[in-house]
Amino acid sequence: MSQKFKAMRGTHDILPDEAPVWRDIENRFVDICSRYGYSEIRIPIFEATELFERGTGFATDVVQKEMYTFPDKKGRNLSLRPEATPSVVRAHLEHSLGRKARVAKYFYIGPMFRYDRPGAGRYRQFHQVGIEVIGTSSPTADAETIQILWEFLKGIGLKDLKMRINTLGCKPCRVKYSEVLRGFLEDKLERLCGDCHDRFERNPLRVLDCKNRACKVVIAEAPDVTAILCDECVEHFDRVKGYLELAKIEFYVDPKLVRGLDYYTRTVFEVFHESAGVDSSLGGGGRYDELVEGVGGPSTPAVGFSAGLERIILALRAEKAPDDTGGGVDVYVAPMGDEATGVAYELASELRKTHAVWLEFDQRKLDRQLRSASKLGARYTAIIGSDEIARNVVRLKDMNSGEQHEVDRGEVAAWLRKHCGG
């Protein structure tokens, strides 16, 4: 009798009756990323192991325990990708993509691999969607990243969601907090699990990410990072929260949120399915201003997220949400000055309901922003400065004819629908 093969433990087949749901969700993700001005990038399934050791972090559980690592026929150490961010950064550097765009915005879809205990929504080959923004330290980029994840999950029909956010501070803040946390945990080690003993030695922040119930009791008493943040980090986080409020994104601050990877700095965030509890994370991410330099590039700020498709589909089934989930830039929003940034963020959030919108992240002169709008092929540029704010108008420049129109701020969406479609 011939042997009957089965899928390896921790893997699964996506069968013909399931594939349309996957395809629809992926299409929705492509659509929202395109509306925000992101371009797709496809990266190899395996890389040099050192890339993940330096990128993901040698001290992380992912690198220490979960990677599929093997020598090839020439003895080189390779690993199946446990996540996409280091690979995207490697591709960005290898192909000098930073020379083509001051700020690079990527999205990806594909399988990842971790040797983990299989469970509901947890596989050894699993699938993620995600985005990376490379080249800006602006808090508007953090907020946009969070907004895309939130709108994607809401847009496919999920309702029972919670967003939690936190800040880990810059490198000096992290070092200071690690020392504070190490001092707090030192006399409590006997109450922690064996893994947390190792984390205490390698990186005490990892203890905060432990899911062990006994460890959670200890973690609940730990000091918050917010108490030791520098003024610049406080301001950055306050601006992120402010932009999320402008976009009407529901969130709460969880001072114990650290995420499971070593490269995060400042903003971190996570969306979980409320009925399944905090451990049922559907996706999350944060800012990683030191990773690019850590894998051999120049000092470059960046932010991104990933989300697990298997868990998302489980959440859809739990809610009995409908299975049918239903490029180019229409408007480039150009704020002039700090005061205009908040108004611009709110306007962009409103316009994205019907149009593809690119929001400028950083403070740049108008002529440079107009050149960027032209390169992106934007139909209109929405200009907002102190004069426009004072008169409650937005200047809309037709990028083809050069004509400019002043439109009341509350009428911009309707005006664009009439002149630009949507």
Residues 118, 190 within the same domain:
no
Residues 90, 103 within the same domain:
yes
Note whether residue 138 is domain-resident.
Answer: yes
Q: What is the mean pLDDT of the chain?
A: 91
From the list 279, 299, 38, 281, the residue with the least C-alpha distance to 144 is 38
The domain of 195 spans: 173-209
Note whether residue 155 is domain-resident.
Answer: yes
From the list 310, 264, 30, the residue with the least C-alpha distance to 148 is 30
Q: Identify the pLDDT of residue 257.
A: 87
Q: Identify the pLDDT of residue 224.
A: 84
Q: Identify the pLDDT of residue 325.
A: 43
Measured CA to CA in angstroms, residue 250 lies from 97, 147, 150, 207 at distances of: 34, 10, 9, 27
Q: Identify the pLDDT of residue 288.
A: 95
Residue, of 149 and 259, whose pLDDT is higher: 149
Residue, of 324 and 233, whose pLDDT is higher: 233
Largest CA distance in the chain: 83
Q: In the predicted model, what is the mean pLDDT of residues 144-151?
A: 98
Residues 262, 134 within the same domain:
yes
- State both tokens at 129: 């969607």
Domain boundary among 252, 285, 319: 319
CATH code of residue 378: 3.40.50.800
Residue count of the chain: 422
Residues 141, 196 within the same domain:
no
Measured CA to CA in angstroms, residue 404 lies from 352, 364, 397, 400, 418 at distances of: 21, 20, 4, 11, 16
From the list 213, 172, 174, the residue with the least C-alpha distance to 191 is 213
Q: How many domains does the chain have?
A: 3
C-beta of residue 348 within 8 angstroms of C-beta of residue 388: no
pTM metric for this prediction: 0.88
With a CB cutoff of 8 Å and minimum separation 6, the contacts of 363 are 337, 338, 341
Give the strand pairing for 39-40 and 104-113. parallel
Q: Identify the pLDDT of residue 279.
A: 59
Does the structure show a pLDDT above 60 at 261? Answer: yes
Residues 33, 46 within the same domain:
yes
The DSSP element (H or E) to which 39 belongs, if any, is: strand 39-40
In what side-by-side order are the strands of the sheet with 104-113?
39-40, 104-113, 125-134, 302-308, 281-287, 265-273, 161-167, 252-253
Strands (E) in 297-392, as ranges, are: 302-308, 331-335, 357-359, 380-384
Residues 6-52: pLDDT tens digits?
999 999 999 998 999 999 999 999 999 999 999 999 999 999 999 99
CATH code of residue 28: 3.30.930.10
Residues 283, 388 within the same domain:
no
Q: Identify the pLDDT of residue 286.
A: 96
Note whether residue 224 is domain-resident.
Answer: no
Residues 71, 87 within the same domain:
yes
The DSSP element (H or E) to which 29 belongs, if any, is: helix 19-35
The b-or-e profile of 391-412 (16+ CB within 10 A means b, else e) is: eebbbbbebeeeeeeebebeeb
Q: Identify the pLDDT of residue 210.
A: 78
Chain-centre distance for alpha carbon 173? 22
The amino acid at residue 237 is F
Q: Identify the pLDDT of residue 320.
A: 73
Residues 197, 301 within the same domain:
no
Q: Identify the pLDDT of residue 349.
A: 96
Residue, of 61 and 234, whose pLDDT is higher: 234
Residues 295, 351 within the same domain:
no
Residues 131, 239 within the same domain:
yes
Give me the DSSP letters along 293-324.
Answer: HHTTS----EEEEEEEHHHHHHHHHHHT--S-
Residues 34, 112 within the same domain:
yes
Q: Identify the pLDDT of residue 260.
A: 65
Residue, of 371 and 202, whose pLDDT is higher: 371
